[in-house]
Structure 1
């Protein structure tokens, strides 16, 4: 009777013990990156924090949170002025303290998303508290808005103190609780800040549309630079709390400000308009390389706008342009099919084209 050949099928009951030292050794050997080793260890150890997802529970979290935030910001009524500056200050501080206490309680229970929403409510109450202090002490500059409800409606340089107070509070809260949704009011405040700074620079000479546009572009680029710095630090961090996506809102509002300022530049030459289209094409590929869809979406809108300009202005009387544009559209669809089939390889090549310092941005979270 012949001896049975040894089986090469792995034993399903066999278990291999992998500790942190083995993962770090694999990273040192070049088998995986150090960041990947840390992420694997955090996931296997059960320390990784689950990211937000489009589920019914998470939708309820954000819907309720946005309603509460809106009640304290966009939908603030004049009825609050009946409490006076001191009463409004006490109410805002009381609400903020309660929100922070509830956020810490939820955080101890591992409910990071609702904890982040409640902590964000506390940050959103900071401008109301700052306005109450200034108004109560008689330090509010004359000639501008007299009601806090105008903070989210009117552009005015007098809001700058409220915005700086909000930025400072958001940074402190982020350092303390490390909850990504708190970046949202910080990013919104940077957006407000860019408009109010432009108003301050033009309050003597009157409204200057071009300066406002340029300030938006500069603020947007600055915010995107902060987002890249934050994103890199998060991806290279070893603590699971620091590896969360703190850069999302900064990318979103930074890209909107920069792209909006760029799109409002009215170039008088065809070369300038072509350059604008090429910049938007670059944004499409940048978004694909670093996994930030906001750049891809805005770039696609910019390219579509340029093609619309060509069809209505340059080739308005051309018989062949609609056919050429149809072929281009079908070609883009075919490109999408090809891209889907080779997405991993394309992403790797695009990531390889990034500077070495930025390549961690292309790694999956």
Structure 2
């Protein structure tokens, strides 16, 4: 890859090839494109990037505290106005940063605007009387802790805003609040279906797990579709994969019946997750799959060799066995991946090549 330094651009400007006023903007653009190049295995974090994302997450997390302070100080009307002004300011800053070539902070400010949408809808719901009988009527922060059907309106508005801003700004980080909202929706839809029923009874809990499992599977399919569509550009699928796996794997883990057959099925599914992660080049699959495998093997070892020194031996052997499987896979990964790619559609082969870790 050709490396372009400021000295090179300055020399071009001195030779009359480049306008000197364009040097800073061009450098920012090249740095942003290089940092997000999929051929380099995704975004490469520098100290500056860490500061960008840390500041952005602090600003997004502060929205709940901001909501509480605004409500205590002036009520829901003030909260609605302030959240809208806050979002408008974030969008204005994002637009200005984008014009100057600062893509990462622009995406973070646009994400902040999306994160403020549920806050504004929550205040509007209060003004319209939606929360008069709500158990968490005065605490927006409970949006992240309690399940309630009224959150669905906030989630739908957030998804609409996320789609609009993704169309406008096209930065992968904007997928984070969208994926998080889809995950919340998978939990809140059960109380919406059981408005007059017990949302926490045994039957409702079983329904909640099934719907969370289904939502997770749909999010993973959506992530794969998005991955295919964006295979030649930025990675828009990462957050969908993460929260889709969180919903699917979490619901699957909560469904365990304790029977040996169920544990073996769960073990097989987690091995498939690890395999899928290796094929797709998505380490997040391997993380969840590896955790599930460790849970099942640990549980089986404990029940079979409880109060025995053999328990330690079995766990050690299992650990060595997994390392051995990893070594075998590393030696044969290229050949296996090559055989798989030969029978896959062309678009999928391009995706695997584009997302292959470098």
Structure-1-length-normalised TM-score: 0.79
Larger Rg: 1
- Among 164, 178, 188, the alignment partner of 2:156 is 164
2:98 paired residue number: 107
**In the TM superposition, what whole-angstrom CA distance separates every residue of 1:64-99 from its partner, at most 9, and x where no partner exists?**
1111001113x3453211223332222111111111
Identify which of 310, 325, 335 aligns with 2:300.
Answer: 310
Match in the other structure for 1:16: none
CA gap 1:321/1:348 in 2 versus in 1, 3 angstroms: farther
| Closer, same or farther: CA 184–318 of 1 in aligned 2, 3 Å | same
- Residue among 68, 82, 86 paired with 1:91: 82
What is the deviation of 1:326? 2.9
Task: Work out whether 1:138 is the aligned partner of 2:129.
Answer: yes
Number of equivalent positions: 314
Q: CA deviation at 1:193?
A: 1.0
**2:35 corresponds to 1:50:** yes
Runs of 5+ unmatched residues, structure 1: 1-44, 237-242
Contact kept, 8 Å, 1:141 with 1:158, in 2: the verdict is: no
User: Residue by residue, what CA displacement relative to the aligned partner does 1:175-233 show, whole Å, maximum 9, x if unpaired?
Assistant: 11111111111111111111111222344331122111111111111111111111110
Give the Å deviation of 1:333: 2.0
User: What secondary structure is seen at the aligned counterpart in 2 of 1:157?
Assistant: coil
* Greater relative contact order (CA < 8 Å, ≥ 6 in sequence): 2
Structure 2: distance between partners of 1:364 and 1:278: 28
Partner-residue secondary structure (3-state), 2:244: helix
For 1:310 and 1:198, locate their aligned partners in 2 and report how far apart those are by CA, in whole Å.
Answer: 33
- 3-state SS of the aligned residue for 1:363? helix
CA RMSD of aligned residues (A): 2.4
Question: Residue 20 of structure 2 aligns with which residue?
Answer: none
Deviations 1:308-348 (A, max 9, x none): 11111234377766545433422332333344445433443
Query: Where do 1:201-350 residues align within 5 Å?
Result: 201-206=193-198, 207=200, 208-235=204-231, 243-316=233-306, 322-350=312-340
Q: 1:351 to 1:293 in 2, by over 3 A?
A: farther
| Correspondence 1:142-153 to 2 at 5 A | 142-147=133-138, 148-153=140-145
SS in 2 for 1:204: coil
Q: Which runs of 5+ in 2 are unaligned?
A: 1-28, 37-42
- Tell which deviates more after alignment, 247-256 or 265-274: 265-274
Q: Which residue of 2 aligns with 1:361?
A: 351
Structure whose residues are more often helix by fraction: 2
Q: In structure 2, what is the Cα distance between the partners aligned to 1:79 and 1:180? A: 31
State how far apart, in whole Å, the 2-side matches of 1:58 and 1:130 are: 31
Contact 2:230 2:236 in 1 (8 A): yes
TM-score, normalised via structure 2 length: 0.80
Cα distance between partner residues in 1 of 2:183 and 2:262: 27
